Chains A and B, each alone.
Chain A
């Protein structure tokens, strides 16, 4: 099937509902369940989970652990086994690892067989059944899923990054506008925005004067590898080992380092206008580590000339550091240490760690509270898209070895997604005869 061409899959009742909300004049965010458009008397907020991996399961758990009356009603994943593992975790007798007390949330999970959807197109059916959707598949699919969820008029929690290429970014930006018009709450899992220490630092950012430069790090060992198994098609293999393929993951500068880059954008209040950098593959050379780099170093420049030096590395036994440092005319903000000093190192502010929260839970607590109250409070999609774009810009700079402007990158038309979503279809990149994938080579790889 061609997943991007036909948006008409939603059912008639859903269409009617959307029509009614629009006719109601958008006085508030669409408070879906209480209007009883769906399945009768139950006034729980209905949630659909699209993407049932480790993070999706975690996000669903957090949604079910909020104080609101929430019910998981549908699940979708490309793979049945991933969906089953997720269902098992959510319906476990004891989730005390999560909640701290004996007990479970299984009464809030109402997903019979007919509301479990697999394959590439299950998301549409799952989204149609819910008031709120959780989008936690590999990031390449996010624009497709976000667009559909907005089209169907749902509130949304979606994980970062929100795309892997500029064409995807444009789709998300357009859908974000639509979501604003419809007053759909959208929270993006850039959870530092929901973390007390970062919020307190942000409130006091003027203590450091004008921000002139910043450093951002995500250096560590890297992540899991899912080696190829007998009988897998190339598409299935890439979907299982998705971290190592740019169309699915975006490269680690996009998939992880976005967190740190986004913090700088947030504190800076803007997005870079250009970038140049370097990167490559020192250790990621095997058949199961696809095409992504294992290190990037990017110099991002903002409109006022201030610079973000951004580094990310996935190489074992090297210095590990995940942090941000913001330098202003009067002082420095140390995000990891949660303190602000003057330029001589004297403390201006220090966050009391006892006041730290669980930002992943806070995202859901705040989102579901707003939805329960019928309030429109969250419009994270635009920043999510622009911070994702910042990281993509960095990747395009390191892959090509060229200086690239934001506008040129965003308008490049770079589209990495497959033309056809099917287990038998060829993904956009396939291995050579030696089983290896061709990675970008600076100076040779051209992006625009």
Chain B
């Protein structure tokens, strides 16, 4: 079953010699048309043991990943970009429709709070918008990339060791969050400078959730991706502010389900927003080997339908 899992990203990484000249280092970039920056950490790829208890060797290629979860401020630059359509069924790039009610649920917006309640479509569309604006290909992490980044080279139960008692220093969780997400980057980062990988908002990945993940991706998988075929379940990583500290483990997998949008009373349900997924957010990733324009379009089309 390696084919579906790996062919796609393999295809991406085969090509595209561009963007190789620059040194592979951390960087910041301005979100076009705004005063907001995004901070990207360069992560050297490699092999690691993936999984919560049953661990298997997997390897990933070099990438940059957001040091922080994407915030409401950053997402708003896209959501409020009046130069593109909103909720279009025909345009390749379009903004999410208006939220029927306020889906931040009064947990905070301006000033660095993580954006939440979006579907994976909305998260990928944000990446596509960044691509159009900056010429750099961004996407969500795969499960494997996410876990590799979260572990930051460690193999302990938690990235900081085996004692969940230390979790308070690193993560917003059920015991310290007062049932709300908090501003990003207010706890300690992991060893690779990544904040809030565990807790705060849970993070979307590109993968369909497969119970039997390692069987699907095959042994010693390189850059595995379980390409999604259905809207649910998708793989979510990192846990959130509603989870107990002991459950915030790099290898713990969660999945999306229809109940996350149960209070959307319309048919069809919103493509963009989740009425009951207030604990979900995302961070972005830039593969070091950038795809060609055609490959990038193919990727976005795969996820967004056009």
Residues of A within 8 A of B (CB): 54-55, 57-59, 61, 86, 89-90, 96-100, 191, 218-224, 316-317, 320-323, 336-337, 353, 356, 358-361
Contact = CB atoms under 8 A, between A and B. Distances in A.
Nearest to B257: A100
B80 A317 contact: yes
B302 interface: no
B266 A57 contact: yes
Contacts of B102: 219-220, 320-323
18 contacts: A58-B265, A58-B266, A89-B267, A97-B231, A97-B268, A100-B258, A100-B259, A191-B265, A220-B100, A222-B98, A316-B80, A317-B80, A320-B99, A320-B102, A320-B104, A323-B102, A337-B106, A361-B262
B105 A61 contact: no
A54 B263 contact: no
A340 B79 CA distance: 34
Nearest to B242: A353
Nearest to B101: A322
Contacts of B269: 97-98
A324 B242 CA distance: 23
**Interface range on chain B: under 10, 10 to 19, 20 to 34, or 35 or more?**
20 to 34
Nearest to A61: B267
B163 interface: no
A55 B266 CA distance: 5
Given A54-B266, A336-B105, A360-B265, A96 B232 contact: yes
Given A220-B102, A223-B98, A54 B268 contact: yes
B262 A358 contact: yes
Interface string B64-103: 0000000000000000100000010000000001111110
Given A220-B102, A317-B80, A320-B104, A59 B265 contact: yes
Contacts of B220: none
A186 B263 CA distance: 21
B179 interface: yes
B230 interface: yes
Contact of A221 (B99, B105, B242, B265): B99
A58 B242 CA distance: 29
Contacts of B263: 358-360
Nearest to B258: A100
A224 B88 CA distance: 11
Contacts of A54: 266-268
Contacts of B101: 218, 220, 322
- Counting from the closest, the 10 A-B pairs by CB-CB distance are A221-B98, A57-B267, A54-B266, A320-B102, A322-B101, A358-B262, A100-B258, A360-B265, A58-B265, A58-B267
A189 to B, nearest CB: 8
Contacts of A97: 231-232, 258, 261, 268-269
A269 B212 CA distance: 54
Nearest to B263: A358
Contacts of B257: 100
A153 to B, nearest CB: 27
B60 to A, nearest CB: 31
A66 to B, nearest CB: 15
B65 to A, nearest CB: 30
Interface string B186-211: 00000000000000000000000000
Given A223-B100, A320-B102, 8 more contacts: A55-B266, A100-B259, A219-B102, A220-B99, A221-B98, A221-B99, A336-B105, A336-B106
Nearest to B232: A96
Interface string B147-175: 00000000000000000000000000000
A58 B266 CA distance: 5
A24 B265 CA distance: 38
Interface in B254-306: 257-259, 261-263, 265-269, 276
A322 B104 CA distance: 10
A223 B100 CA distance: 7
B96 to A, nearest CB: 10
B263 to A, nearest CB: 6
| Residue in A97, A191, A219, A223 whose Cβ sees the most chain B Cβ within 10 Å | A97
